[in-house]
Amino acid sequence: RLLVSQYPFSYVQIAALGEVSDSAFLVHRVDTATVASLNPRRYRAGDIVSSVRSVRGAREYQMDIPTIVELTDDAFISNHCFGYGGTVHEAGETWYRINMLAADRLRGPDAHGAFFLDSATSQLRRMELDMSRVDRLPRALKGVASLHAVTTFTELAPGIPVIASVCAITRLRGTGATRPASPAELQQLAGYRFKIPPPDIAARAVIAVPAWKPLDLLPPTTVWCNR
C-alpha cells in the first residue's frame, strides 16, 4: 500500500462480456475502463454486490472483487477466517495457498475462496473467489446459483502489483434438462501510466490484448475459469 501511494498510477482494462455454453463463448459487448490505483472504494462486510448503469442506461449488477488494498483492510480481515492450504507450483514459482472463508455472521453476499502468495516475495499472484450467501442476492438476481471469479496479478515494479486478468462466470438455476448458458466476463490489462514512476521503470506502457469484438463466437475454453 505504501509503494502504491508513493508511485500512484492508473491502468486500462479491456473486458469482454457475454455468455458461455458447452459449445461457445458468445461476446455481447466489449468495454474499456481506466482504473486509479488509489481507488477510494472501501470494503463493506456482506455487501459486495453493487448496481451500476450501463452505457445504454440499463441497471446492471456486479460483484465487487476485493482489491489488494481491501484485502489488507481491518474490516476485511475481521470478517473472514484464514487458513494455510499448502503450496502449489506455477511457472517455476512456489506459491503459498491461503484459504479464506467469509464469517457466518454476515447477512449478505460476500467472498470466500483462496489467494496465492509467491513464496519468494510474498506478492499476491492469484485469487480464486466464490460468492457466499447467494440466497441473499437482490430480487433481480434470484436466478443466480453461483458466481466464481479468478484474478491473476502481475507487478509493474517490485512491490507494485496490478490486476493482469480476470475471468468470472455466473451459473444460473436451470428449470429443465438443458443447462442455460452462463453469463461470463473476461478482463485483460491493456496498459498503465504512472503519475510518478519508480526508478528505472517506464512511466507508461501499452500491452497487447485479445482483439475481442461484439458477436464474436469463441471456443468455450476462452472462459478459462469455467469449471
Out of 8-17, 49-58, 123-132, 157-166, least confident range: 49-58
Please check whether residue 113 is in contact with residue 127, taking contact to mean a CB–CB distance below 8 angstroms: yes
**Rounded distance between C-alpha atoms, residue 199 and residue 157, angstroms:** 9
What's the grid cell of residue 67?
482489491
| Interatomic CA distance for residues 130 and 110, integer angstroms | 8
In terms of pTM, does the model score above 0.75? Answer: yes
At residue 218, does pLDDT exceed 80?
yes
Looking at residue 55, what is its pLDDT?
A: 61
Query: CA-to-CA distance for 161 and 198, rounded, in angstroms?
Result: 13
What gap in Å lies between CA 149 and CA 20, rounded to an integer?
14
pLDDT attached to residue 112: 95
What are the tens digits of pLDDT across the range 140-198?
Answer: 899 999 999 999 999 999 999 999 999 999 999 976 667 789 999 999 999 999 999 99
Higher model confidence: residue 8 or residue 60? 8
How many CB atoms are closer than 10 A to CB 129?
23
pLDDT in tens, 98-112: 999 999 999 999 999
Average pLDDT, the chain: 92
Nine cell digits for residue 215? 458477436
Which pLDDT does position 54 carry in this prediction?
Answer: 66
